[in-house]
Amino acid sequence: MTKTWEALLKDEKQKPYFQTILSKIKDAQYSGKVIYPESQDIFNAFKQTPFDQIKAVIMGQDPYHGPNQAHGLCFSVKKGIKKPPSLVNIFKELKRDLYIDIPEHGCLDSWSNQGVLLLNESLTVENGQAGAHQDWGWSVFIQKVLSLINEHADGIIFLLWGSHAQKHSSLIDANKHHILTSSHPSPLSAYRGFLGCGHFSKTNELLNKQGKSKINWAT
């Protein structure tokens, strides 16, 4: 039977901690605080990448905390919005690795629609307040998500960029899946290993070996 996010996460979403997160979001919005991404976009990563179509997982940290940036996919911004520095470096490495021209926009919908789960550690943030919701319980939910992928899928490629993402490697069985690590693409650390990592071509090589279709990384 086909596994779906809805079925796999049904019990988790009923747990008190998760219901508390949803209540906190509503309370914050009611009190006039601006929360990103917009309510309908919070779970976009799951909507756009069905469980049975996952090929790779890219881990981010926090949604962007500026107006009109975040739309539920890590590192991605809506079309028409200036590309943040980390995303600029991601595109630089993509061009170096696969000779793909840097796009004018920073929307990664095409990746998520091909099976790349673009997952942040926190799924919400407050306007102008980086990390504002890191202690709301999102980490418990994300760890559950990663555990479900580890258990119920095979041959998934996890791209863990930076120490925050790499701490999740303990949830992943390296005998079942593939873990690619490097420094974070942030300008502060990209030169320490991200630029030159070749993760995009390596991901496609691993997919090819499994008989899976490659990712078209052009956006």
Say what the pLDDT of residue 67 is.
92
1: confidence class by pLDDT, cuts 50, 70, 90: low
Task: Indicate whether this model's pTM tops 0.75.
Answer: yes
* pLDDT tens by residue, 113-157: 999 999 999 999 999 999 999 999 999 999 999 999 999 999 999
Q: Write down the catalytic residue from 11, 27, 52, 62.
A: 62
Known catalytic membership, residue 11: no
Q: How does DSSP classify residue 168?
A: G
**How confident is the model over 172-197, as a mean pLDDT?**
97
* pLDDT tens by residue, 16-26: 999 999 999 99
State the burial class of residue 16 (Cβ atoms within 10 Å of its Cβ: 0-12, 13-18, 19+).
Answer: exposed
Nearest CA among 116, 144, 9 for reference residue 55? 116
Q: Would you say residue 2 has pLDDT above 80? A: no
